[in-house]
Homo-oligomer: A and B are copies of this chain.
Amino acid sequence: MSGQQSEAGSDDAGRTPQRPKGRRPGRADTRGAVLDAARAEFAAHGYEKTSMRGIARTAGVDAALLHHYFGTKQQLFVAALDFPISPDLIAQVILTGDRAGAGARIVRFAMTLWEQPPVRERLVAMLRAAATNEQVAELFRGFVERELVLRLATALGSEHPELRVELVMSQIVGLAMARYVFQVEPLASAGIDTVAALVGPTLQRYLDGVGD
């Protein structure tokens, strides 16, 4: 791959002797064009039906270079929509390590992330956008169903696995709403240990499918 930039998003002037077919995503302006194209394609077709090929075509870049610089469709979505957390990382937190500790591990992981102001701001912005714009809600729905629910449900098995994964998410979203949107006290100021002790077993029960 000739004329490859050192890093995605790099802005240095090209010294490449000849222009390759299609723009290269390594340049800052090309990176912006790809992210714009991705947002437009995802918004128009939803997560499931959008293809990397379609995004490459809209952005006027080579599909292979798109994969090279932006990774998978999931990774491009996270970058383009500024999704606060990678599904890969969430799946790793839940599925790696002892299963019995997964509930508390999810609470600790989520709360540790949220306590970082940029993540928290992005989370609240996402909840706000989804609450006020049905197209945004629909887009996030498609992404979450495909990249988190289906994947985790397959790993969990047992009865109603999709429903149980979604209930885990509902408790996490509700916790975020209560803590950062409604800011009810004492929950908004409660420490991670206290919340993990109370909410961890809830998530564990959903993951284990007890009471089905």
A186 close to B (CB within 8 Å): yes
Instruction: Name the contact of A163 in the complex, choosing from B128, B172, B186 (C-beta under 8 A).
Output: B186
Contact string against B for A residues 156-186, beta-carbon threshold 8 Å, 1 for contact and 0 otherwise = 0000101110110111111101100111111
Give the nearest-CB partner of A201 in chain B. B211
103-148 of chain A: CB within 8 A of chain B: 124, 127-128, 130-132, 137-138, 140-141, 144-145
Instruction: Name the contact of A177 in the complex, choosing from B149, B163, B170, B186 (C-beta under 8 A).
Output: B170
Given contacts A190-B163, A205-B202, A211-B198, contact A130 B170 (CB under 8 A): no
Instruction: Give Cα A101–Cα B124 distance, bound, in whole angstroms.
Output: 34
A95 close to B (CB within 8 Å): no
Instruction: Name the contact of A167 in the complex, choosing from B137, B173, B199 (C-beta under 8 A).
Output: B199
Instruction: Give Cα A53–Cα B2 distance, bound, in whole angstroms.
Output: 78
Instruction: Give Cα A62–Cα B197 distance, bound, in whole angstroms.
Output: 51
Q: Assess whether A132 is in contact with B132, with CB atoms less than 8 Å apart.
A: yes
Given A167-B175, A170-B174, A198-B206, 16 further pairs, Cβ under 8 A: A130-B181, A130-B182, A131-B132, A131-B181, A137-B182, A141-B184, A145-B184, A149-B184, A163-B194, A166-B178, A170-B178, A173-B182, A174-B175, A197-B211, A201-B211, A202-B205
